[in-house]
């Protein structure tokens, strides 16, 4: 692609391997054990599944796997890892990744180089139609290249506004204007849809104004609800059913609720679902982040997130905490849980 927004993929070893594997599975009897999916999304440590990880991923509370750069060596190897995960059980586990572009792009070699999303916003300021076209192309590129190796979902688009305040968001944000963010995100999600992939808007209601990094601290945003709805949260309402999933921020908005948004019934149930009409799946952000520590231990964090309205919770980089959660969490599926998850994966 031109203008430096996305480069050309090279070295696409193993292209189509995942699709061929899926076709073979369709033609053969399905011997995978039938285990309903649960609400927990975990990670794995290396380039292929270890026996202990296979056992962990068979737990009925597990519903997905998130991949990181450490899980990637080549497209062929990644396709094999995704196939191993999908072959464990039925319905198959969701395989997801943070693959936004710029500094948050987990897979590099053999994948198109994606510029930071801020570059799309700058392109918008020069040429609106070109920016919309490129946003759609980027969505198609992300979705196509990930689906070719068996990844089901990228946690994108970032809907945070570019307030020039947050280092952790920074150039990951599309623009400072909520209307531009919504338009570019709609084009990006359309491109993802054309490639057969869903989407996940983040970090609701907005992380761009908070100074602290929620990986390391609990940020606060002291603006009132009217201001947040008029600006940072506006893209979520405008995008409507184009959004299939949302991830809330580990940020406190004390003039709205003393709990971080990801643990807040007011934010997730009253505002996101009822006021803004969101009907898709809600993922927590990683519960091992420092911004989630206010809710207690890992089991308490998961309970708080699920009680607030999250459908699925992420536990990353701490297999010990993953085991503690699987041993201690008591969970019954919500009526719409599987419907929302199927809608996200059925593209």
Active site residues: 215, 285
304: phi then psi, degrees, rounded to nearest 5: -65, -40
* Cα(300)–Cα(46) distance, integer angstroms: 28
Displacement of CA 14 from its chain's centroid (Å):
25
Q: How many helices (H) and strands (E) in the chain?
A: 12, 12
* Cα(235)–Cα(233) distance, integer angstroms: 6
Residue identified by tokens 């004390």 is: 254
Give the chain's end-to-end CA distance (angstroms, integer).
Answer: 25
Residue 90 near residue 30, CB atoms below 8 Å: yes
Preceding peptide of 203 cis, ω within 30° = yes
Structural tokens at position 293: 């520590």
Residues 6 or more apart whose CB falls under 8 angstroms from that of 285 comprise 202, 203, 214, 247, 248, 249, 250, 262, 291, 292, 314
């Amino acid at each position: 692609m031109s203008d430096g927004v996305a480069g050309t993929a090279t070295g696409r070893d193993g292209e189509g391997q995942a699709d061929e594997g899926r076709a073979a599975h369709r033609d053969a009897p399905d011997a995978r054990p039938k285990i309903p999916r649960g609400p927990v999304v975990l990670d794995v440590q290396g380039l292929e599944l270890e026996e202990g990880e296979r056992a962990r991923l068979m737990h009925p509370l597990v519903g997905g796997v998130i991949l990181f750069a450490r899980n990637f060596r080549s497209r062929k190897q990644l396709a094999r890892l995704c196939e191993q995960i999908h072959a464990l059980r039925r319905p198959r586990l969701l395989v997801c990744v943070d693959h936004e572009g710029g500094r948050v792009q987990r897979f590099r070699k053999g994948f198109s180089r994606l510029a930071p999303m801020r570059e799309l916003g700058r392109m918008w300021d020069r040429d609106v139609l070109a920016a919309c076209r490129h946003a759609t192309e980027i969505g198609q590129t992300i979705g196509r290249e990930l689906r070719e190796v068996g990844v089901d979902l990228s946690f994108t688009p970032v809907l945070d506004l570019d307030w020039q305040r947050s280092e952790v968001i920074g150039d990951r944000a599309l623009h400072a204007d909520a209307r531009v963010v919504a338009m570019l995100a709609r084009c990006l999600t359309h491109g993802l849809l054309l490639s057969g992939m869903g989407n996940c808007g983040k970090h609701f209601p907005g992380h761009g104004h908070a100074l602290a990094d929620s990986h390391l601290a609990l940020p606060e945003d002291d603006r009132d609800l009217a201001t947040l709805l008029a600006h940072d949260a506006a893209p979520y309402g405008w995008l409507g059913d184009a959004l299939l999933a949302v991830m809330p921020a580990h940020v406190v908005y004390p003039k709205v609720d003393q709990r971080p948004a990801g643990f807040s019934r007011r934010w997730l149930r009253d505002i996101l679902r009822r006021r803004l009409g969101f009907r898709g799946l809600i993922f927590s952000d990683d519960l091992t982040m420092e911004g989630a520590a206010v809710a207690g231990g890992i089991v308490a964090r998961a309970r708080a997130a699920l009680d607030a309205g999250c459908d699925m919770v992420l536990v990353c980089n701490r297999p010990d905490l993953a085991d503690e959660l699987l041993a201690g969490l008591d969970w019954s599926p919500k009526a719409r849980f599987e419907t929302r998850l199927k809608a996200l994966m059925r593209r």
